[in-house]
């Protein structure tokens, strides 16, 4: 399936240095994996993590899960070697941290032909989101809300008010440039209720899914970002009603007391496409 059309409800970070977690991921119900060489890997393990990760990906077993490798920034001592190593790995895309300009993406694009993703996690990066999203090699954006909170001196709040302008700005940029966009992590991985609340907020805003740090978070994100049965059923009825109205020469149908126009039909079709993509993943 086209990478951009795959589901991204749950996107799990796995430290590239941890054999046990790399193995566990082969059994998890996760849409995409970020194999991390950056912040989840201690400096002393950065070099060996490349080989550990390359071996895990060569061994395979990750099925239809999208495999994204997060490298260290190209300005660091590890970045360029990471990029060359990731280019040779059996993965679907490379994720660059702390992207602030298209020049950084150009530099990475010179080292690999793989699709690129960008971490959006600094004030300069957020302000340049539209240009970053429009980069011809960029496929997706990942919100880095931990780094962003640090850079903004913001406090973590349940309603994420201090993050809202950055989240909204990147969403607009991603939607305007046809990029996939996934929300930041929820650090308290044992707090299911808090995670569910944040997932629903992200889904309501329009994110495609959420990045996660622990397998215990998968079920909540998968449920929150999938169309519900009621949404699928309504989408089918809207399409049917609109097609019937069109045959009668009408441009508007009514379903459950609400108007259905061609734009609602487009949303209904994308709801059905998402449900089908999720079903295809679990086959």
Please list every residue from 133 through 162 that binds ligand LIB3CWND, using CB under 6 A.
Answer: 144-147
What 8-state DSSP symbol labels residue 32? Answer: E
Give the Cα separation of 56 and 37 in Å (integer): 13
Q: Which is nearer to ligand LIB3CWND, 82 or 242 (CB)?
A: 82
Interface with ligand LIB3CWND includes 84 (CB under 6 A)?
no
What's the CA gap between 2 and 9, in Å, rounded?
16
Q: Under DSSP, is residue 73 helix (H, G, I), strand (E, B) or coil?
A: coil
Q: Which stretch binds ligand LIB3CWND (CB under 6 A): 71-79, 208-216, 231-239, 274-282?
A: 208-216
Give the shortest CB-186-to-ligand LIB3CWND separation in angstroms.
10
Dihedrals φ, ψ of 12, to 5°?
-95, 130
31 binds Mg ion (CB under 5 A): no
* By the rule CB under 6 A, 36 interacts with ligand LIB3CWND: yes
Tokens 């059923």 found at: 233
Taking the C-alpha atoms of residue 118 and residue 96, their distance in angstroms, rounded to an integer, is 5
Q: DSSP states of 149-186 as a string?
A: HHHHTPPP-TT-GGGHHHHHHHHHHHHHTT-EEEE---
Pick from 147, 183, 198, 208 the residue near Mg ion by CB under 5 A: 147
Q: Is 68 in the site for ligand LIB3CWND (CB under 6 A)?
A: no
The first and second tokens of residue 193, run together, are 């209720």
State which residue, 39 or 197, has the beta carbon closest to ligand LIB3CWND.
Answer: 39
21 binds ligand LIB3CWND (CB under 6 A): yes
Q: Per CB under 6 A, does 184 bind ligand LIB3CWND?
A: yes
Phi and psi for 137 in degrees, rounded to 5? -95, -5
Collect all residues with Cβ–Cβ distance below 8 Å to 96 and sequence separation of at least 6: 70, 71, 73, 74, 104, 105, 108, 116, 117, 118, 119
**Residue 15 is a binding residue for Mg ion (CB under 5 A):** no
Nearer to ligand LIB3CWND, 14 or 139 (CB): 14
Q: What are the tokens at 176?
A: 């305007």
Does residue 184 touch Mg ion according to CB under 5 A? no
Interface residues toward Mg ion, by CB under 5 A: 121, 144, 147
User: Which residue ranges are tagged as binding site for Mg(2+)?
Assistant: 121, 147
Interface residues toward ligand LIB3CWND, by CB under 6 A: 12-15, 20-21, 24-25, 36, 39-40, 119, 121, 144-147, 184-185, 189, 213-215
């Amino acid at each position: 399936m086209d990478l951009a059309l795959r589901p991204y409800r749950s996107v799990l970070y796995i430290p590239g240095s941890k054999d046990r977690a790399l193995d566990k991921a082969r059994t998890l119900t996760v849409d995409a994996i970020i194999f991390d060489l950056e912040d989840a890997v201690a400096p002393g393990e950065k070099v060996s993590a490349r080989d550990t990760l390359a071996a895990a990906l060569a061994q395979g077993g990750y099925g239809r899960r999208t495999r994204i490798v997060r490298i260290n920034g190209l300005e660091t001592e590890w970045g360029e070697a990471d990029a060359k190593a990731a280019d040779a790995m059996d993965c679907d895309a490379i994720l660059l941290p702390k992207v602030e300009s298209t020049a950084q993406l150009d530099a990475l694009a010179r080292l690999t032909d793989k699709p690129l993703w960008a971490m959006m996690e600094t004030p300069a990066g957020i302000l340049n989101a539209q240009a970053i999203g429009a980069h011809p090699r960029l496929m997706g954006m990942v919100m880095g809300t931990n780094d962003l909170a640090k850079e903004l001196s913001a406090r973590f709040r349940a309603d994420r008010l201090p993050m809202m302008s950055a989240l909204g700005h990147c969403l607009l940029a991603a939607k305007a440039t046809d990029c996939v966009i996934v929300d930041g992590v929820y650090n308290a991985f044992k707090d299911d209720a808090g995670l569910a609340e944040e997932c629903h907020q992200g889904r309501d805003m329009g994110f495609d899914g959420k990045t996660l740090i622990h397998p215990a978070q998968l079920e909540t994100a998968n449920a929150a970002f999938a169309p519900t049965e009621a949404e699928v059923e309504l989408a089918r009825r809207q399409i049917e009603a609109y097609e019937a109205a069109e045959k009668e020469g009408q441009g508007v149908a009514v379903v459950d007391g609400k108007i259905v126009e061609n734009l609602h039909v487009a949303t209904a079709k994308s709801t059905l496409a998402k449900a089908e993509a999720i079903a295809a993943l679990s086959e």
